[in-house]
């Protein structure tokens, strides 16, 4: 690929972005990136603080004697670790393979077959570049003190923000660097709940060895994406498509399911899924005919948005696990999963295009003694968020199956204030720099500002960032020239916030 130093300004940003991409940093595995951030601060003799959960803060003192203003710049250190099935990549040790591509008359940075991690490597790189340039004197922000906050485990459940030591930061303003459109700034977000449900597995041997054939049904080639930002784009959910197929087959034939697998992270729309089931040899021709009729009908629902959707049924010869789901257990489970919705549930009544409440059926896994599903619900109001959870819980109760619900994360909404000083200033700076109006919005995805706004109610907050598309999927890419645009805005924005304080 191109030398990153030739991608644009500031050079410091691109150098840091490359170095960050070489460091494994999946959620809950942030030790190496945290040490890297700490080492960079130590080079310039800046103080660092690390709290009990692993968040780190660097304090960059003012060049002048008296600090007039204190501002927090914030990003998260972890990334979504997703890859295509045909890619050999170990996220625990392998560096990302960066490359540039041309698309839609733009130059983009992406990674070969994996997520790029621009979410939120761009935030880390902006922070470290500002720190370095202040130290070497090429950037002077006068009487400004900066707290550079780097949080952990944002992607898995915002636990770095939710469990942060409240004494880590203070300031009048907080600028979150985790947004993904350079002409839209975020000042509010939905709250959410992530929970898993474990069903006690009931197995039996339902067919004699000589009568059964193991087959595999797989769903692949979907776009996926962010379960908040992309939930209203009509993209297919691989888990729900597979369940739809299994329900139709289970309702029409005497089949025995052995395993169901699909999805990974709660905040990613699942792209791939598969199930292994036994069929009677006498049913094979009829099931082949049946699936050849329904597969094209399902694909036709997504033929514009999901052109690469692939649904396959294949006989497998190297599978010798004799047990399958108990018949009653199987029917109840498949009926339940078929009823659980996914996607937008309610649209915002006045903000066009804004999802008010949604559900992501994020994953399903067959484990030794249980079936585990993971669900993420989001809403702009706490009431609707709770209500949707209760509706899912009611469906589960009706099955009579033995289950256990585990709440993994509950996070609040961030209520937007369109008249705050930080919002008005951002609009003026953007207009002055680019002779255009920036869009100020609330989003359906969750942001760490939801927690910060509760911890520090007097602190004014905004979220900004360059153009990133296809986040949380191996097609994630960063628009290169957008990086310099947001850099120029950010530096002027900081200067103006100092002036008005």
What residues are labeled active site?
A: 78, 154
CB 16 within 8 A of CB 124: yes
Q: 226: which residues sit within 8 A by CB, 6+ positions away?
A: 267, 268, 269, 445, 471, 472
Measured distance between the N- and C-terminal CA atoms of the chain, rounded to whole angstroms: 44
Burial annotation 206-224 (CB, 10 A radius, 16+ → b, else e): bbeeeebbbbbbbbbbbbb
Q: Cα–Cα distance between 308 and 138 in angstroms, integer?
A: 48
CB 68 within 8 A of CB 118: no
Angle between helices 327-339 and 382-399 (to 10 degrees): 160
Q: How far is CA 478 from CA 122, 155, 222, 366, in A?
A: 9, 18, 20, 35
Residue 233 Ramachandran class (φ > 0 left, ψ -120 to 50 alpha, else beta): alpha
Q: What are the backbone dihedrals phi and psi of residue 313, each rounded to the nearest 5 degrees, phi first?
A: -125, 125
Q: Cα–Cα distance between 299 and 290 in angstroms, integer?
A: 15
- Strand 439-443 and strand 468-469: the pairing is unpaired
* DSSP states along 445-463: S--THHHHHHH-TTSEEEE
Strand ranges for 287-353 from DSSP E: 310-315, 324-325, 343-347
User: What strands, in cross-sheet order, belong to the sheet with 47-50?
Assistant: 47-50, 56-60, 144-151, 69-76, 173-176, 460-463, 184-189, 439-443
The continuous run of DSSP H or E covering 362 comes out as strand 355-366
Cβ count near 205 (within 10 Å): 12
Q: Cα–Cα distance between 265 and 253 in angstroms, integer?
A: 32
CA dihedral 91, 94, 97, 98 (to 10 degrees): 70
Q: Cα–Cα distance between 156 and 431 in angstroms, integer?
A: 36
- Taken as a whole, the chain contains a residue count of 501
């Amino acid at each position: 690929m191109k030398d990153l130093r030739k991608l644009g300004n500031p050079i410091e940003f691109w150098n840091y972005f490359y170095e960050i991409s070489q460091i494994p940093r999946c959620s809950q595995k942030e030790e190496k990136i945290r040490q890297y951030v700490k080492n960079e601060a130590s080079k310039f003799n800046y103080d660092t603080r690390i709290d009990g959960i692993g968040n780190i803060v660097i304090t960059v003192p003012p060049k002048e004697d008296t600090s007039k203003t204190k501002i927090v710049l914030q990003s998260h250190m972890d990334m979504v670790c997703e890859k295509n099935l045909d890619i050999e990549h170990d996220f625990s040790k392998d560096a990302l393979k960066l490359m540039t591509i041309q698309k839609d008359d733009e130059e983009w940075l992406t990674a070969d077959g994996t997520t790029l991690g621009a979410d939120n490597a761009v935030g880390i790189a902006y922070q470290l570049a500002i720190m370095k340039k202040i130290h070497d004197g090429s950037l002077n922000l006068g009487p400004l003190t900066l707290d550079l906050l780097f949080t952990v485990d944002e992607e898995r459940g915002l636990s770095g923000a939710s469990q942060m030591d409240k004494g880590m930061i203070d300031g009048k303003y907080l600028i979150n660097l985790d947004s993904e459109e350079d002409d839209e700034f975020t000042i509010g977000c939905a709250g959410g709940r992530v929970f898993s449900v474990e069903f006690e597995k009931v197995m039996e041997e339902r067919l004699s060895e000589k009568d059964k054939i193991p087959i595999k049904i797989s769903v692949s080639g979907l776009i996926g994406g962010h379960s908040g930002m992309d939930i209203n784009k009509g993209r297919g959910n691989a888990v729900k498509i597979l369940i739809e197929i299994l329900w139709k087959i289970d309702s029409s034939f005497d089949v025995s399911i052995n395993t169901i697998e699909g999805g990974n992270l709660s905040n990613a729309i699942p792209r791939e899924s598969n199930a292994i089931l036994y069929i009677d040899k006498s049913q094979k021709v009829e099931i082949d005919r049946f699936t050849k009729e329904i597969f094209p009908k399902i694909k036709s629902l997504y033929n514009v948005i999901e052109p690469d959707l692939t649904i396959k049924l294949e006989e497998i010869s190297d599978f010798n696990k004799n047990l399958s789901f108990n018949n009653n257990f199987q029917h109840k489970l498949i009926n339940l999963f078929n009823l659980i919705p996914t996607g937008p549930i309610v649209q915002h009544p006045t903000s066009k295009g804004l999802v008010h409440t949604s559900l992501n059926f994020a994953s399903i896994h067959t484990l030794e003694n249980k079936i585990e599903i993971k669900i993420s619900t989001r809403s702009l109001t706490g009431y609707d968020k709770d209500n949707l959870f209760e509706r899912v819980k009611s469906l589960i109760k009706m099955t009579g199956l033995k289950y256990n619900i585990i709440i993994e994360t509950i996070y609040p909404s961030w209520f937007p204030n369109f008249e705050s000083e930080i919002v008005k200033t951002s609009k003026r700076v953007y207009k002055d720099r680019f002779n255009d109006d920036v869009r100020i919005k609330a989003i359906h995805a969750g942001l760490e500002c939801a927690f910060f706004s509760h911890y520090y109610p007097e602190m004014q907050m905004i979220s900004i960032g360059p153009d990133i598309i296809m986040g949380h999927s191996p097609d994630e890419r960063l628009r290169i020239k957008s990086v310099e645009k947001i850099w120029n805005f950010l530096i002027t924005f900081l200067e103006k916030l100092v002036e008005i304080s």
